[in-house]
Amino acid sequence: MTRRVALLAHEGLPDRAKTAVGVLRYADAEVVAVVDREIAEADPDARVTDYVPEVPDAPIVGRVADAPDFDALVIGVAPIGGGFDESWRPDVRIALEAGADVVAGLHYFLADDEEFAALAAEHGGELRDVRRPPDDLTVAEGRARDLDAEIVLTVGTDCSTGKMTTTRELYEAARERGVDAAFVPTGQTGIIIEDWGIPIDRTVSDFTASAVERMCVERADHDYLFVEGQGSLIHPAYSAVTTGLLHGAMPDSLVMCHDAGREAIHGYESFEIPNPGYVAEMYESLAEPIAPTEVVAGALNTSGLDGETATEATKRYRAQLDAPVADPIRDGAERLLEAVL
């Protein structure tokens, strides 16, 4: 994508609009506006950089109708369950009526929506559902451990702990050093950024490991593969996906992502997050009989913490993991990359 994009992020910016933030940070696109009615209502002059640091700036508007011209509307929020929020319908409608494409990573496929399909056909826009997996997937062969490429997988103590960001920052830092690296996206944001990839959480469960195996095999001519993790081994809903990734990618090393402020699974508050060191051991134990690996570094999400608190949290996380720790956004990814290479 080297085109003009509007990002739909109602009630999402910054923390509940992972896809919007990912596109702002990493995509090869010009973001003309972020659409968040909550923010725009409170402050009509709001700018993206008030909410997301160190990205190209853009206005925040209340509805798509108020955005400058764009080529594609990207749905930048992913509610739990991946449904389509009917309150977004007028915005999508206006984008399609203007002839723009609409890109989404929802479980609900926009192309299957009769109104949207008709509008796209009428005005020449494309409905691109990146969460639709290829239909020729089959079962894994157990091949990834035999690939020459060094495979690095991010794992986490929960969803939304920064796995996509960490993977992407590691990949970009490696490339800057001249390392022959590839990014293997497994979720909607990464796939939208990379314009390639399989949405691992949407595959048939028998084929989850196979989907990541296939991507690693396709990129095996690189020296390093940075595989975007999903979910968490201790998540009551998403642990299946995480396990399929771990056993399908057969990584040489793991980087474990944790949110400094998080004490329970997001949205499942009765499920406590145990000591991250214990969670790291769980990942290593589960990998052991299939392809042994190790948590070699920890990525700590300290967004929202002041400097001193962040430093303390980093120190604590380092002790828990007994491995190098950094916040890839606050501190950069260099220290993590050192541990991986």
Q: Please, what is the minimum distance in Å from the beta carbon of residue 194 to its own copies? A: 20
Q: Which helix (H) or strand (E) holds 241?
A: helix 239-249
Q: Tell me how far apart the alpha carbons of residues 196 and 115 are, in angstroms, rounded to a whole number.
A: 27
Neighbouring C-beta atoms of residue 274, cutoff 10 Å = 11
Q: Which residues contact 287 (CB under 8 A, 6 or more apart)?
A: 246, 247, 250, 251, 254, 293
**Displacement of CA 112 from its chain's centroid (Å):** 24
Q: Tell me how far apart the alpha carbons of residues 216 and 226 are, in angstroms, rounded to a whole number.
A: 9
Near its own copies by CB under 8 A: residue from 19, 167, 188, 208? 208
Residue 201 binds its own copies (CB under 8 A): yes
Near its own copies by CB under 8 A: residue from 97, 290, 294, 316? 290
Near its own copies by CB under 8 A: residue from 44, 68, 81, 99? 81
- Bridge-based pairing state of the strands 264-265 and 181-184: unpaired
**Residue 139 tokens, joined:** 């079962």
Which residues partner with 152 through β-bridges? 226, 253
Closer to its own copies by CB, 118 or 240: give it.
Answer: 240
Near its own copies by CB under 8 A: residue from 55, 117, 220, 237? 237
Residue 78 binds its own copies (CB under 8 A): no
SS3 of 69-86:
CCCEEEECCCCCCCCCCH
Near its own copies by CB under 8 A: residue from 23, 77, 192, 200? 200
Burial grade of 235 (CB within 10 A; 0-12, 13-18, 19 or more)? buried
Instruction: State the binding string over 242-281 for its own copies (x if CB under 8 A, else -).
Output: xxx--xx-------------------x-xxxxx----x--
Closer to its own copies by CB, 72 or 250: give it.
Answer: 250
Residue 204 binds its own copies (CB under 8 A): yes
Near its own copies by CB under 8 A: residue from 234, 333, 337, 340? 234
Closer to its own copies by CB, 148 or 308: give it.
Answer: 148
Q: Please, what is the minimum distance in Å from the beta carbon of residue 319 to its own copies? A: 20
Asked if 176 and 169 count as a contact pair (C-beta separation under 8 A), the reply is no
Near its own copies by CB under 8 A: residue from 7, 73, 233, 340? 233
Closer to its own copies by CB, 167 or 203: give it.
Answer: 203
Q: Which stretch binds its own copies (CB under 8 A): 66-74, 92-100, 231-239, 312-320?
A: 231-239
Q: Which of residues 210-229 bind its own copies (CB under 8 A)?
A: 210
Q: What is the DSSP annotation of 181-202? A: EEEE--SHHHHHHHT----GGG
**Residue found under tokens 């109602």:** 10
Residue 94 binds its own copies (CB under 8 A): no
Q: Please, what is the minimum distance in Å from the beta carbon of residue 73 to its own copies? A: 24
Q: Which of residues 106-145 bind its own copies (CB under 8 A)?
A: 107, 138-142
DSSP 48: G
Task: Give me the residues that bind its own copies (CB under 8 A), please.
Answer: 80-83, 107, 138-142, 200-206, 208-210, 233-244, 247-248, 268, 270-274, 279, 282, 285-286, 289-290
